[in-house]
Amino acid sequence: MLFDLPDHDTLYQALLARDDRYDGQAYVCVASTGVFCRLTCPARKPLPENCTFRATIAECIEAGFRPCKRCHPLQAAAGADPTIAALLKALDERPGLRWSEGDVVRMGYDPSTVRRSFKRQFGMTFLEMARQRRLREGFETLALGGKVIAAQHEAGFESPSAFRAAFARILGCAPAALRQDGLLRASWIGTPLGDMIAVASESHLHLLEFVERKALPAELRKLREATKGGIGIGRTRVTEQAAAELRAFFEGRAPVFTTPLFQAGSAFSQAVWDELRRIPAGGTRSYAEIARRIGRPSAIRAVARANGANQIALMVPCHRVIGADGSLTGYGGGLWRKQRLLEIERQYVADAGADLREPRRSAGG
């Protein structure tokens, strides 16, 4: 079930203001042109009487509208920006390079424009993303049994203290504190929306978070304190399953996760997390609706706290919780990422609708 759209006047004002709170949550269908757009579309604004607003891409297509070529509503916004696409491709090709603004200039781009574009789309600058990517290279060296000094050089850090500090900012501890024989093992998983840290045993996934989540160091410290064997570094079969399912999700092949999960929490929190997992891809819920569904209609704030305490991102889809008015609400991974995830999942719904509308061929071809 999707949220009820706000009234026409509210959404039309959001269209005029290019209000990104509704981006991916509502689309405008323009009768005079036959196209549908994001509310953030830079094109000239249509008259209000020519606008109808719909909650999903599938509804727009079913109503006979085609996607706008300016705002590309079928694509994630970042992928529609050729500058971002070119720089991400360059980063993939040279992950170990110590990128600087000079490198950006030599590629023919203005550093300030690039800085703003990446900050708007990813919540971090291109250079911050490049440093994070280098740190991943060092983390993976450690996971393969390499020494800290080798990991430091692999990550492109000249100073051991700088490498330890960068590592600790994300994981809350120095590299040497991670044991090779820990009962839980931490690993780094790359995704199109940023790198993630996964912590798993041989039987369950205990944590999955984007690396820049502010609460990540505290969450890892709590896991270390609760685990007698501490946290080591490396992958388990559960981590491999999680990585494969994340890859399938982002490639548009499967929106369902079956990785076995373990989350420590109260009976109330468990009820909230179970309800989150019942929200289908392409659907959303409000805090109030979740509270009603678990039989605690007055516990809306407690639901919000349990939602925020979830430490298995995507697989326990707290990103599918939105405001009662349909606007995006807080998300530990960043609102920009929440928007992208909802866009990806709405594409699953749109693709399913297209499959249903595809005419069947006769046996004779």
Task: Give me the pLDDT at residue 358, please.
Answer: 47
Task: Please state the φ and ψ torsions of residue 106, each to the nearest 5 degrees.
Answer: -65, -25
Task: Give me the pLDDT at residue 165, please.
Answer: 81
* Annotation: binding site: 37, 41, 68, 71
Q: What is the dihedral of CA 216, 222, 223, 229, to 10 degrees?
A: 130
The answer to whether residue 60 is catalytic is no
Task: Give me the pLDDT at residue 20, please.
Answer: 78
CB 96, CB 156: distance < 8 Å = yes
> Start-end ranges of CATH 3.30.160.70 in the chain?
178-258
* Annotation: binding site for Zn(2+): 37, 41, 68, 71
Task: Give me the pLDDT at residue 273, please.
Answer: 97
Task: Give me the pLDDT at residue 360, please.
Answer: 41
CATH code assigned to 267-352: 1.10.10.10
Distance of CA 117 to the CA centre of its chain: 17
Task: Give me the pLDDT at residue 318, please.
Answer: 95
- Residue 158 gets the label, from left (phi > 0), alpha (psi -120 to 50) or beta, of alpha
Task: Give me the pLDDT at residue 66, please.
Answer: 79
Task: Give me the pLDDT at residue 179, please.
Answer: 65
* Threshold 0.95, pTM exceeds: no
> Start-end ranges of CATH 1.10.10.10 in the chain?
267-352
> Start-end ranges of CATH 3.40.10.10 in the chain?
8-74
DSSP state of 360: P
Catalytic residue among 29, 37, 51, 60, which?
A: 37
Catalytic residue among 29, 51, 60, 318, which?
A: 318
CB 197, CB 188: distance < 8 Å = yes
Task: Give me the pLDDT at residue 214, please.
Answer: 83
With tokens 């209609």, the residue in question is 297
Domain 178-258 CATH class label: alpha beta
**What is the homologous superfamily of the domain 8-74 according to CATH?**
DNA Methylphosphotriester Repair Domain (3.40.10.10)
Per-residue pLDDT of the chain (365 residues; tens, 9 = 90+): 345 688 999 999 999 999 877 877 789 999 888 899 999 898 999 999 999 998 877 677 667 777 888 887 766 655 557 888 888 888 878 877 888 999 999 999 999 989 888 877 676 788 888 887 778 777 777 777 777 788 777 777 777 887 888 777 777 777 777 766 678 988 888 888 888 999 999 999 999 999 888 888 889 888 888 887 678 888 899 999 999 999 999 888 888 999 999 999 999 999 999 999 999 998 999 999 999 999 999 999 999 999 999 999 999 999 999 888 777 777 878 777 888 888 888 878 766 654 434 444 333 33
Task: Give me the pLDDT at residue 58, please.
Answer: 64
The answer to whether residue 51 is catalytic is no
